[in-house]
A and B are shown apart, each in its own frame.
Chain A
Amino acid sequence: MTSLVSARGVSKSFGSVRAVDDVSFDIDKGKIMGLIGPNGAGKTTLLKAVLGLTDCEGSLSVLGLDPFRQRKELMQNICFIADVAVLPRWIRVNQLLDFVESVHPRFSRTRADELLARTKILPKAKIRELSKGMVTQLHLSIITAVDATLLVLDEPTIGLDIIFRKEFYSNLLNDYFDKERTILITTHQVEEIENLLTDVMFINEGRIVLHASMDALPERYVELMTSGENAERARQLNPIFERDVFGKKVLTFEGITRDQLRGLGELRTPGIADLFVAKVKGAAA
């Protein structure tokens, strides 16, 4: 079994709204999967289903377990940061560590202390006395000290300043990630995680509109910056999306080789954010 998360026809409705609509995908061991989607696309619902926080239709297996029905077993091998605001504000840092140590069989106190010693967080401090960035640092340190197979991050850096955000991702890569571990992450700040992802999945209106490895993107997608007549000729090749940048046209193509476009203008691989807009808006047009 190489696939850690395996979803087949997963759906979840709230009343008449289908938040997640017949979604199928796999996440393999050692991957960093970015789940990208606009607000209300069903990202959080999908993550909740993966974490066993909500029930869903279809078949969903996480680490070989049914996440909703085998939550306790699941939580020994999975960690998640739902949002920066969720650490209890009344607790002290050392109390929090004591508690996690006594309930989590895979938590290494030594490792957590080691990681925290590198920060300005004092063991006696209460969470409410820490800045937002420090709370996230603390949460990440705790999670890094847990020997978990899958880490789920839902908007982990929301509301943080740029320094803390950069540091968060560099710590995530340096201290947490290795080939044995897998990360599933959602965020709106796509540009910041673009370079660390190995795989990407776009979700819109409850459906997956793209699922690819980052390495495969340059082969499948190409962006052409051009103008005038060349733009007209390029349009014949059915771009999935077109936008204006500084008076020039930028056309995004799917499944068109670079050779076919050579000579028509400047070619490059689209960034994730642009590609996302192209897929979502292009499909709507």
Chain B
Amino acid sequence: MIGHQIALIKRELWEHRAIYVTPLVIALIVSIMAVTGQVVLSAFDHEVSIAIIGASNLGATERAAAITVLLAGVSSLLVMAMWVLTVFYSLDALYAERKDRSILFWRSLPCTDAETVVSKLLTAAVVIPLITFVVVMLTHLIVLALASLWLGFQGADAWHLIWRAAPLPSNWTATLVFLLALPLWLSPFIGWFLFVSAFTRRSPLLVAFLPIVILPLLERSLIGTSLFFDALFVRTGSLPLFRGLSTGEIFTYQGDDWSVGDRLPSGLLSLLDLSRFFGSPSLWIGLLVCGLFTTAAIYVRRYRDDS
């Protein structure tokens, strides 16, 4: 069973090389942008010196926050790419094998349809995020290494300014949790896409997205409600994984002066609220919907006679 899953998932990676090529290309682009940015910045000698002095005078918390914001920007590019990748992968997963008729070969082997569909679901919901996570770490290291090199040339102390300040373990753990939580939260879409890719005879992209556009309009004009739209809106909005920061954590009042406080959480991990996430009924409803669509996809692959 587990042996089959590993083999099936490996097969998905052979077929869909975009799963690891895309994030690597983005990593490359970010690295090139980092280098170009540094070359351009170097033209402003005076300002750079002032900025470095400024940075050196910042407290550890502020430096950590600055680096976290920079790295989170890099991560968000990769997260967006991951979601696009997940959409296209899930829509192709059970469609391509029917289009090229290789499904007849796959089905001649002793793998069940459930095993196959589950391997595709796992690829979309777990493998793609894990690969993205590895590339996120890699990109962070490259960007920070490039920044250190550049700071070194500027005569600054990169160890002090960057490596000691960057809360990498906390940020990375938070990124991993987020990357794994996102597909869970969006799982009804993944299930729907897999189902579409299992049943549609043409253009899965269109078939998948048309109902998402048309159903809310129909509901509005026919019944006058907007339940479907609201559900979509909640689902595509932010996931209930984060806790809010109170003002008191960001700023502290010392004497007559407001300043960025020492209570500012260092690293992203402290911003996550897993009990809120797993306590959210929306998450579980979504997972149930995903389960139903996946079962339907298995059923279609198993019982439909295409001839």
* B7 within 8 Å of A (CB atoms): yes
From A82, A91, A105, B110 is in contact (CB under 8 Å) with A105
Q: In the bound complex, do residue A82 and residue B104 qualify as a contact, i.e. CB atoms below 8 Å apart?
A: yes
Q: In the bound complex, do residue A89 and residue B109 qualify as a contact, i.e. CB atoms below 8 Å apart?
A: no
From B3, B8, B14, B104, A86 is in contact (CB under 8 Å) with B104
Across the interface, which residues of A come within 8 angstroms of B131, CB to CB? none
CA distance A68 to B3 in the complex (A): 24
Task: List CB contacts (< 8 Å) of B108-140 with chain A.
Answer: 108-112
CA distance A91 to B182 in the complex (A): 31
Across the interface, which residues of B come within 8 angstroms of A105, CB to CB? 110
* B276 within 8 Å of A (CB atoms): no
CA distance A103 to B11 in the complex (A): 11
Task: List CB contacts (< 8 Å) of B8-36 with chain A.
Answer: 8, 10-11, 14-15
Contact segment of B40-48, B94-102, B163-171: B94-102
* B305 within 8 Å of A (CB atoms): yes
- Give min CB distance, A152 to chain B, whole Å: 9
- Give min CB distance, B299 to chain A, whole Å: 13
* B107 within 8 Å of A (CB atoms): yes
A side interface size, CB within 8 A: 34
CA distance A83 to B109 in the complex (A): 15
Across the interface, which residues of A come within 8 angstroms of B103, CB to CB? 86
* B258 within 8 Å of A (CB atoms): no
Q: In the bound complex, do residue B307 and residue A103 qualify as a contact, i.e. CB atoms below 8 Å apart?
A: no
Interface centre among A44, A82, A87, A103 (most CB of B within 10 A): A103
Across the interface, which residues of B come within 8 angstroms of A98, CB to CB? 7, 10
- Give min CB distance, A188 to chain B, whole Å: 17
* B201 within 8 Å of A (CB atoms): no
Contact segment of A72-80, A246-254, A270-278: A72-80
Main secondary structure of the interface of B (DSSP, over half): helix
- Give min CB distance, A42 to chain B, whole Å: 12
Task: List CB contacts (< 8 Å) of A37-91 with chain B.
Answer: 44-45, 48, 51, 53-55, 71-73, 75-76, 79-83, 85-91
Across the interface, which residues of B come within 8 angstroms of A89, CB to CB? 100, 102
Q: In the bound complex, do residue A48 and residue B7 qualify as a contact, i.e. CB atoms below 8 Å apart?
A: no
Across the interface, which residues of A come within 8 angstroms of B10, CB to CB? 98-99
Q: In the bound complex, do residue B15 and residue A102 qualify as a contact, i.e. CB atoms below 8 Å apart?
A: no
Contact A75/B307 with A86-B102, A103-B7 known, Cβ cut-off 8 Å: no
Q: In the bound complex, do residue B14 and residue A102 qualify as a contact, i.e. CB atoms below 8 Å apart?
A: no
CA distance A99 to B143 in the complex (A): 38
Q: In the bound complex, do residue A88 and residue B100 qualify as a contact, i.e. CB atoms below 8 Å apart?
A: yes
14 A-B interface contacts by CB (under 8 A): A44-B307, A53-B107, A75-B107, A75-B108, A75-B111, A76-B110, A82-B104, A86-B103, A88-B100, A90-B15, A91-B11, A99-B10, A102-B3, A103-B8
B contacts, CB < 8 Å to A: 3-4, 6-8, 10-11, 14-15, 97, 100-112, 303, 305, 307
Closest A-B pairs by Cβ, 4 of them: A102-B7, A88-B102, A75-B110, A82-B104
Known: A98-B7, A99-B10, A104-B110; 4 extra A-B contacts, CB below 8 A, are: A53-B305, A75-B110, A87-B105, A89-B102
